[in-house]
């Protein structure tokens, strides 16, 4: 295991302390969430009783293979707790998510949870969101027109003519678990996160974007020097 992987497991192990018997849990997606699911699976094997819902097909498969009980979100909501990774987190604990493409299901699941705990290694901690390209999930129909709306919004908000790239995987456009496409939008430093989030949400053709505003209760941040639980400064 390399250093970054070890930090992911360290954050995931700390987040397990938030889990209590009988809880209804939301499982995030990505490699840090996968580490959490692995450790949760060990607890379940030792007798922990929880029921979970997953934010992607990958994590559903992983949780199932580890013997973790799963149910649809609609049968479980409201959830007691969701645990998920992030691509960036700022001091307000606003997040960029969706590097793995699961942003829409993550937002639906996490908005249905009483508490969201974010787990991350130190690379994800930033002063300002926006260096990581913001994923925006769009319907396939006429998606270049949706791209045009995103570009106009970026210009109107003063970010200029930003790079907006259709995500590809294995030489073809990447499809989300919902059958949609993703545009990765490099805004640079995002100066007003809630305003941009609201504007993107209103665009025709946009299904969801990866700005998670005011949702996280705490960030479990693993650094080389140790693991810290960070509360939002709002």
Helix (H, G, I), strand (E, B) or coil at 161: coil
Considering the candidates 106, 110, 137, 208, report the single residue annotated as catalytic.
106
* Other beta carbons less than 10 A from residue 125's beta carbon: 17
Give the CB-nearest residue to ligand 5RP: 30
Whether 106 sits among the annotated catalytic residues: the reply is yes
CB of 212 to ligand 5RP, least distance (A): 9
Give least dist CB 107 to ligand 5RP, A. 10
* Distance separating the N- and C-terminal Cα atoms of the chain: 36
- CB nearer to ligand 5RP: give 120 or 196: 120
Question: Which is nearer to ligand 5RP, 34 or 50 (by Cβ)?
Answer: 34
Which candidate, 84, 66, 78, places its Cα nearest to that of 23?
78
Taking the least distance from each CB to ligand 5RP, the nearer of 134 and 152 is 134
Chain residues binding ligand 5RP by CB under 6 A are: 28-33, 84-87, 97-103, 106
Quote the tokens at residue 178: 């919902």
Of 155 and 201, the one with the shorter C-beta distance to ligand 5RP is 201
Q: How far is the CB of 40 from ligand 5RP (least distance, A)?
A: 15
Nearest distance from C-beta of residue 139 to ligand 5RP, angstroms: 18
The closest alpha carbon to 127, from 165, 155, 171, 93, belongs to: 93
Whole-angstrom Cα distance, residue 201 to residue 118?
A: 22
Which among 21, 210, 234, 23 is positioned nearest to 101, based on CA atoms?
210
User: What length does the chain have?
Assistant: 234
Q: Residues with catalytic annotation?
A: 106
């Amino acid at each position: 295991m390399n250093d970054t992987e070890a930090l992911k497991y360290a954050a995931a192990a700390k987040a397990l302390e938030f889990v209590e018997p009988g809880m209804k849990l939301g499982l995030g997606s990505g490699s840090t969430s996968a580490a959490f699911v692995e450790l949760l699976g060990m607890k379940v094997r030792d007798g922990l009783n929880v029921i979970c819902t997953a934010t992607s097909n990958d994590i559903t498969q992983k949780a199932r293979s580890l013997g973790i009980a799963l149910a649809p979100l609609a049968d479980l909501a409201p959830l007691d707790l969701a645990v998920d990774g992030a691509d960036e987190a700022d001091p307000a604990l606003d997040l960029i998510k969706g590097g793995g493409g699961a942003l829409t299901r993550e937002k639906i699941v996490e908005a249905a949870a009483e508490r969201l705990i974010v787990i991350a290694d130190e690379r994800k901690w930033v002063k300002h969101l926006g260096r990581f390209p913001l994923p925006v999930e769009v319907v396939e129909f006429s998606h270049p027109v949706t791209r045009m709306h995103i570009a106009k919004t970026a210009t109107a908000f003063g970010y200029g003519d930003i790079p907006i790239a259709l995500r590809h995987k294995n030489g073809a456009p990447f499809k989300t678990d919902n059958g949609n496409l993703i545009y990765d939008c490099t805004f640079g430093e995002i100066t007003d996160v809630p305003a941009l989030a609201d504007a993107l949400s209103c665009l025709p053709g946009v299904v969801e974007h990866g700005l998670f505003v005011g949702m996280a209760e705490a960030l479990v941040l693993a650094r080389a020097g140790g693991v810290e639980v960070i509360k939002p400064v709002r």
